[in-house]
């Protein structure tokens, strides 16, 4: 047992300033942090209930859906993944999961634990699936649910979804997609693409701290949940009970994380203020500038340019350069966090996130300057100022282009 005397009480925690340019959590606007400091309301207080209703409306906007069953599950993005899987799957149900990175792999694990009979198709890390190969697999497996990641944060790969959704429906399967990293950064069209179930997280392009998982279920998925023969394997994530709290019953299920819900409402209000379209364009512009700067330093993307996400850029670590010393120096000298490689890319790649509030010219400039300094000090033959000049040209061209 740890013993403390009063004088040994830890001082108030005071984190060092950081610029979060990794795979999440991302930079959070001060207005969102301030919302978290507001006094608590009870989880059934009429004002809190009203905030939940507003949040549902805001989530329908960011997901571009009319789905009634749209809400924020308590827990991080992985809780959203688990909520979607355990509510749609009953033991023995066939599920097809497309794996081209770490998060597709996680979906396999979650589905197996939920008792699904899982079939997997794979693509190497960095690649995306062709709709025809997924259609073939769907015809072979005849799954109840097809699971796929829209924005694979472990590789920066941006998976086109629409044709795969169509292929799933041709075979009467449901399509469930992971939009943890895509939501708020690239187009996510739940109704337009006819997606049955979707989950996301708050700490990537929504620029809110981690802690909630927005989810949405369409009519087909809601019917599947309503017609289950067995109880959902997770008590906590059972949507039939959670929806009674988010719906007009206001039935107590668990105490909502009040402050997190304040933060999400604020973060979504900021998305509305900016407008989804402008937000997506901003992500695209800053990514172009970042990639121009990285290319000017001779760095190569892990993903084809054509399928590279704007909000998460995964680059190969140059030959002869070690991963950790560079990331340590970025953190120590500039306060910048970027991500390392995951799975087979561990030690081989860096992941740079320009997500939400973090997707700004000032951060692109800071990161490129810091990275160039590090790499030149380590002896890479990079022309001084080359990275910033390349990025700056992208911004200049953009300012000059007709709107
Ligand atoms: C971050 C992430 C998750 C997991 O979210 P957590 O909030 O870390 O639980 C799942 N899928 C993708 C694609 C992610 O980027």
Q: Which atom of ligand 1 is nearest to the CA of 181?
A: 15
How far apart are the C-alpha atoms of 127 and 158, rounded to whole Å?
9
Residue in 109, 161, 179, 180 to alter for ligand 1 test, most ligand atoms within 8 A of Cβ:
180
Query: Average pLDDT over the chain, rounded to whole?
Result: 97
The pTM assigned to this predicted structure is 0.97
Q: Which atom of ligand 1 is nearest to the CA of 213?
A: 7
pLDDT of 402 strictly over 80: no
DSSP string, 213-281: EEEEE-HHHHHHHHT-SS--S-STT-HHHHHHHHSTT----S---HHHHHHHHHHHHHHHHH-HHHHHH
pLDDT tens-digit readout, 158-179: 999 999 999 999 999 999 999 9
CA distances from 14 to 10, 11, 18, 38 (A): 11, 9, 12, 19
pLDDT of 271 strictly over 80: yes
pLDDT tens-digit readout, 196-213: 999 999 999 999 999 999
Asked if residue 209 lies in contact with residue 226, where contact means CB atoms within 8 angstroms, the answer is no
* 265-293 mean pLDDT: 98
CA of 88 to the centre of ligand 1 (A): 19
CA of 330 to the centre of ligand 1 (A): 24
Q: 331-345 burial string, b = 16+ CB within 10 Å, else e?
A: eeebebbbbbbbeeb
Which residue minimizes the CA distance to atom 6 of ligand 1?
Answer: 77
CA of 109 to the centre of ligand 1 (A): 14
The reported pLDDT for the residue numbered 134 is 98
The distance from CA 60 to its chain's CA centroid, rounded to whole angstroms, is 17
The distance from CA 170 to its chain's CA centroid, rounded to whole angstroms, is 28
Which residue minimizes the CA distance to atom 8 of ligand 1?
Answer: 77
Q: Which atom of ligand 1 is nearest to the CA of 150?
A: 13
Domains and CATH numbers, the chain: 30-273 (3.40.640.10), 276-400 (3.90.1150.10)
pLDDT of 8 strictly over 60: yes
pLDDT of 403 strictly over 60: no
The lowest-confidence range among 62-66, 101-105, 248-252 is 248-252
- Residues 6 or more apart whose Cβ sits within 8 Å of residue 277: none
* 337-360 mean pLDDT: 97
Q: Which atom of ligand 1 is nearest to the CA of 81?
A: 10
CA distances from 299 to 211, 284, 290, 303 (A): 34, 19, 11, 12
């Amino acid at each position: 047992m740890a013993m403390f005397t009063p004088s040994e009480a830890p001082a108030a925690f005071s984190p060092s300033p950081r610029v979060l340019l990794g795979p999440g959590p991302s930079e959070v606007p001060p207005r969102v942090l301030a919302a978290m400091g507001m006094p608590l309301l009870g989880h059934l207080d009429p004002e809190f209930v009203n905030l939940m209703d507003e949040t549902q409306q805001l989530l329908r906007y960011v997901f571009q859906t009319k789905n009634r069953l749209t809400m924020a599950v308590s827990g991080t993005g992985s809780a959203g993944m688990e909520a979607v899987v355990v509510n749609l799957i009953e033991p023995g149900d066939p599920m097809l999961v497309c794996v081209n990175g770490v998060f597709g792999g996680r979906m396999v694990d979650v589905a197996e634990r939920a008792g699904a009979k899982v079939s997997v198709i794979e693509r190497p890390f960095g690649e995306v699936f062709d709709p025809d190969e997924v259609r073939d697999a769907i015809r072979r497996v005849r799954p109840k649910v097809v699971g796929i990641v829209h924005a694979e944060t472990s590789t920066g790969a941006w998976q086109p979804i629409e044709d795969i959704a169509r292929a799933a429906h041709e075979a009467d399967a449901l399509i469930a997609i992971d939009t943890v990293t895509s939501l708020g950064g690239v187009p996510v069209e739940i109704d337009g693409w006819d997606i049955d179930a979707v989950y996301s997280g708050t700490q990537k392009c929504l620029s809110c701290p981690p802690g909630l998982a927005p989810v949405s279920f369409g009519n087909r998925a809601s019917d599947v949940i309503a017609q289950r023969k067995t109880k959902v394997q997770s008590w906590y994530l059972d949507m039939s009970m959670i929806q009674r709290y988010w719906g007009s019953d206001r039935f107590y299920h668990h105490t909502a994380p009040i402050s997190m819900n304040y933060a999400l409402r604020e973060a979504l209000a900021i998305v509305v203020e900016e407008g989804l379209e402008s937000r997506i364009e901003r992500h695209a512009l800053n990514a172009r500038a970042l990639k121009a700067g990285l290319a000017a330093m001779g760095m190569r993307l892990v993903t084809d340019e054509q399928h590279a996400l704007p909000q998460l850029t995964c680059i190969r670590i140059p030959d002869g350069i070690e991963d950790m010393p560079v990331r340590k120096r970025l953190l120590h000298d500039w306060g910048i966090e970027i991500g390392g490689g995951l799975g087979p890319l561990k030690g081989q790649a860096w992941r740079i996130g320009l997500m939400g509030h973090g997707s700004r010219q000032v951060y692109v400039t800071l990161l490129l300057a810091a990275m160039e300094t590090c790499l030149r000090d380590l002896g890479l033959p990079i022309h001084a100022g080359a990275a910033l000049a390349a990025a700056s040209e992208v911004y200049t061209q953009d300012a000059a282009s007709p709107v």
